[in-house]
Amino acid sequence: MSRKKEDTAIVESNKLTDPYASMLSRFHAAADRLGISADEREILSRPAEIHIAYLPVAMDDGHIRVFEAYRVIHSRALGPGKGGIRYAPEVNMREVMALAAWMTWKCAVVNIPYGGAKGGITCEPKKMSLGELERLTRAYTRAMSKVFGPDKDIPAPDMGTSAREMAWIVDEYSRLYEGNFIPAVVTGKPLELGGSKGRVEATGRGVTTVILQALQRIGRRPEGLTAAVQGFGNVGSITAKYLSQSGIRVVAISDKTGGYYNEGGILIHQAIQYRDSHGGVLEGFKGGERITNEQLLTLDVDILVPAALEDQITPQNAPNIKAWLIAEGANGPTTAEADPILNGKGIMVIPDILANAGGVIVSYYEWVQNRRGHYYTESEVQERADNTIKQAFDEVFTRAAAQKVSLREAAYLIAVERVVRALRMHGKY
């Protein structure tokens, strides 16, 4: 333990809410249990590559603003780097490093042939014009043109980005490569540019699928259960929609402007319509009484879905959480220090690297379709994705029961084991 602590000092931090420290502590716990070598531990506790660019962008007022942009490849042991691009004011290097590593474990746990990567730009997309966002995205693509590639590193949307940004990336990247149309360089594209049916809904659908699978494995029916969902973007709103379709009453939702509680159940389609016609936020929604995000996390509900940001469930609020099932729609919503508190309370936590893997699973199908030039129907995509995530859930559930560990520990054991096996196959450099 002491050697690895010293070895990884460069990437360790004492900050309680440092997402990279949270990632490392789960990784080291799995590595200890698996008995992997110090060398393998050394490789996987650091990112393989970090790319930083300062992007000068012409703003609408004629001034130039320089944006800090990252792309981190954590591992290519299982395949090309894969992971989204985040546009948000809080984006920083350690966050992107953690997100990249989580992608490595996520792809491994659901058994798709990708490594882990992530990108981010520190910016406030809601305060930028369409033209500014397009120039920023094209500048980022040019800066990362040697990093990205269908067999090297394949970005996708994350917080603050969507199919629109992916379309600009394909266009810019294809121009850089002499006009060859290269849709497989990025996933989460619009259908018109080679996107996959079912991609937009894939993450929220996957979150719901693992919740239903967990309920089935413990012999509970969804009807009559209640849920609270934090975050009402792509993941949160689609999870809320599918949960309510499955008979679960979603009594609380929230976004960065605050939360809403309705004991009888929030009408999710109304909330989505409201958000879409009010600048993408729930501010002023009348379908429930106002609550704070902090109150939402500790509501007396059966199921809690954090689907916004990292570090939301902490040692401070974990003792007050009343839900008995948590499905992590967001990446890293629980700090490592909160894990033992949740475990001690007997709360079943479906970890991020499994719960929100539906998106990357369908991204993989998108990439496969681009390369084959043959496209699946929506139901084909959904059936394949549902089966893949259910199978991954069952493997994690069975391993957790066999080794008497939490679902998170079991997911890390499976993921780290797969990546380490691939590392060994690659041989020594």
Residues with active-site annotation: 118
The three-class DSSP label of residue 377 is coil
Q: Which of 187, 331, 335, 369 binds ligand NAD (CB under 6 A)?
A: 331
- Integer CA distances (angstroms), 162 to 133, 159, 204, 224, in order: 12, 8, 15, 34
Contact string 288-327 vs ligand NAD (x = CB under 6 A): -----x-------------xxx------------------
Residue whose Cβ sits closest to ligand NAD = 233
Cβ atoms of residues 77 and 426 within 8 Å: yes
Q: How far is the CB of 241 from ligand NAD (least distance, A)?
A: 13
251 vs 267: CA distance, rounded Å: 9
Half-sphere exposure of 106 toward its Cβ, with a 13 Å CA cutoff? 36
Instruction: Determine, following the binding rule CB under 6 A, whether residue 228 of this chain makes contact with ligand NAD.
Output: no
The three-class DSSP label of residue 351 is coil
Instruction: Determine, following the binding rule CB under 6 A, whether residue 104 of this chain makes contact with ligand NAD.
Output: no
Instruction: Determine, following the binding rule CB under 6 A, whether residue 339 of this chain makes contact with ligand NAD.
Output: no
Site for ligand NAD in 129-188 (CB under 6 A): 157-160
Instruction: Determine, following the binding rule CB under 6 A, whether residue 359 of this chain makes contact with ligand NAD.
Output: yes
Instruction: Determine, following the binding rule CB under 6 A, whether residue 209 of this chain makes contact with ligand NAD.
Output: no
Name the strand (E) or helix (H) holding 120: strand 116-122
Q: How far is the CB of 403 from ligand NAD (least distance, A)?
A: 26
- Integer CA distances (angstroms), 104 to 70, 169, 207, 290, 394, in order: 17, 23, 19, 38, 20
Instruction: Determine, following the binding rule CB under 6 A, whether residue 128 of this chain makes contact with ligand NAD.
Output: no
102 vs 207: CA distance, rounded Å: 16
- The nearer residue to ligand NAD, 116 or 233, going by C-beta atoms, is 233
Q: How far is the CB of 210 from ligand NAD (least distance, A)?
A: 12
Dihedral sign, Cα of residue 9, residue 351, residue 349, residue 249? positive
- The nearer residue to ligand NAD, 69 or 405, going by C-beta atoms, is 69
177 vs 341: CA distance, rounded Å: 51
Instruction: Determine, following the binding rule CB under 6 A, whether residue 254 of this chain makes contact with ligand NAD.
Output: yes
Q: Write out the residues near ligand NAD by the rule CB under 6 A.
A: 157-160, 203, 230-236, 254-256, 293, 307-309, 329-331, 356, 359
